[in-house]
Structure 1
């Protein structure tokens, strides 16, 4: 397998699609929000980038549901085996470092049910308090399962605490999936260029229907708190559409949040390197032909 990772706005999807077209590959998405249907602009699906290349684990869930790491790991492995059986090359592409690491390392996970008593006890706590509780739990479990990407809203923090608490209290037998051998390519983008691309892309997405996309999701009856749970674009646009923020406040806060998110993604990838993964970094500014040539020479 070939894995192509990088922070948001690094241009990893066009690279993966071009590579797949050249070598007979199929793309497996490693994006925790592109699994949801009708959440297209805010998650940056950019499906036109794929051309005729087959892609997987995009548009597999309804908005309002809460897809999780356990489900992703099972779905990934099923798709991975199907692609191999066809004689095609699986290409894992995305920016959700937790999903990437889980499938490459073969995390041993179990499905975690909701714990309403725990949820009730956490209600009303601030995001800072919840984040500290999560940090304390992780120190007990030695877990790499959550980083601050998971706790950009109280709802997500509570779910992370619920998972860590369950795993601490229930060391149950779990379906074991093997690690996956992969060459890992990282798309390396300069911080200032990344910031510039994020801002330009955000303006373009707002001009091309992102507000209308979130409004349509609210109009079809998806609760505002469920959209806020998905974070970033869906969080701040929902707060704007429900009158909690002005347009300018929404733009400002969302722009800052995406910059912070990209920084957290890079922190996760650097952590993967410290945990033993070899990432071959190639410059985002290289012409596409050179990027592909570098990847093929490693492959």
Structure 2
């Protein structure tokens, strides 16, 4: 597949200000925002996933966005779905001469765009899953590191759910060494200029705590209750993790409000740390991330990104 316009990627951990910066960059250069977030694809999951749709209006003008609100809550969505959906939208945006501005914190999705990784050929192991679910996260990690396969260097183990899937894939490859598993050879690999936001840890932690408090006031619990009231079962919401997991546990009586709040806040902090770990892994795998100082004024960040992307795009054109 011939890829023309390089991606302009803005990544960072939760509460780093990605969406606001991406929408303003897109507005300034005639771009459209592609969400690279594993949960923003779901309708009616707005507050908990941090869609911040109000940010997509800049100076009174709407900024087009994609891969948000494309699936019903309760459905499953994976990296292979994302690659397919992204490619379809990219073709249209590229043909219109618009700039694809990718914004997200799901490192595995970004990695899939840049390295072409996919694992849909490995089936779910119905016998192994219950055994893995019964293990603690530490036990799962120990088991993962005790195995070896070509998949290990690519695996995303940033959450318990992904760790279980990684173990499932690693086990399959161990048991079927001759299996032809496509880690993305059929998927387009995009050229990209990558920018990263990484506020100091203490700043990030304060933003996470403040944002969680604000979202609870905005109706986060009511959002989860509405999903349950529509017939989406508790297990499906727990599957989505973080806000949907802990608030569901609170609503079905397994956690008090204070217990829910404390555990959720802790888990979001841990999640942000895992996101940064994955971004550092991307760098070790040869992907250059241009980290933008948090203290820069917004206008300086925007100007830097636009200038750098322009030079990056010119450099690609000159090498052809």
**Which of the numbers 136, 145, 150 marks the counterpart of 1:141?**
150
Equivalent position of 1:127 in the other structure: 137
Map 1:1-299 → 2, pairs under 5 A: 1-51=7-57, 52-122=62-132, 124-137=134-147, 139-151=148-160, 156-168=162-174, 169=176, 170-172=179-181, 176-299=186-309
Asked whether the equivalents of residues 27 and 90 of structure 1 are also in contact (C-alpha less than 8 Å), the reply is: yes
Q: CA RMSD in A?
A: 1.9
Q: Is the 8 A contact 1:41 1:210 kept in 2?
A: yes
Tell me if the contact between 1:150 and 1:160 (Cα under 8 Å) persists in the aligned partners.
no
Which deviations, in whole Å up to 9, do the C-alpha atoms of 1:51-89 show, x marking residues without a partner?
Answer: 111111111112222211111111112211221011101
Structure 2 residues not aligned, in runs of 5+:
1-6, 310-320
Give the Å deviation of 1:222.
1.3
Q: In 1, are the aligned partners of 2:151 and 2:170 still within 8 Å (CA)?
A: no
SS at match of 2:164: helix
C-alpha deviations, 1:107-161, integer Å up to 9, x for none?
2543443332222444533333333333334x3234344333231xxx5543343
Contact 1:199–1:255 (8 Å) recurs in 2 = yes
* Distance in 2 (alpha carbons) for counterparts of 1:145 and 1:223: 32
Q: C-alpha separation between the residues in 2 aligned to 1:261 and 1:216? A: 25
- Provide the aligned length of Structure 1 versus Structure 2: 295
Alpha carbons of structure 1 residues 281 and 172: separation in structure 2 relative to 1, 3 Å = closer
The alpha-carbon distance between structure 1 residues 284 and 193, as it changes in their structure 2 partners (threshold 3 A), is same
TM-score normalised to structure 2 length: 0.86
The structural deviation recorded for 1:102 is 1.1
In the TM superposition, residue 221 of structure 1 has moved relative to its aligned partner by 1.4
1:267/1:126 CA distance change after superposition, 3 Å? closer
Q: How far apart are residue 172 of structure 1 and its match? A: 4.1
> 1:110 and 1:198 mapped to 2: Cα distance?
33
Are 2:122 and 2:181, in contact at CA under 8 Å, matched by a contact in 1?
Answer: no
How far apart are 1:185 and its partner, in Å?
A: 0.6
* 3-state secondary structure, aligned to 2:71: coil
Tell me by how many angstroms 1:275 deviates: 1.1
- In 2, Cα distance between the equivalents of 1:175 and 1:75? 17
| Counterpart-to-counterpart distance in 2, 1:144 and 1:82 | 33
Cα shift at 1:212 = 0.4
Q: Structure 1: which 5+ residue stretches go unaligned?
A: none
Query: What CA distance in whole angstroms lies between the structure 1 residues aligned with 2:171 and 2:72?
Result: 27
Instruction: Assess if the C-alpha contact under 8 Å between 2:156 and 2:163 holds in 1.
Output: no
Match for residue 315 of structure 2? none
Distance 1:25 1:57 in 2: 15
The answer to whether the 8 Å contact 1:110/1:175 transfers is no
Distance 1:113 1:104 in 2: 24
Change (3 A) 1:214 1:146: farther
> Normalized against structure 1, the TM-score is what?
0.92
Cα separation, 2, equivalents of 1:109 and 1:115: 14
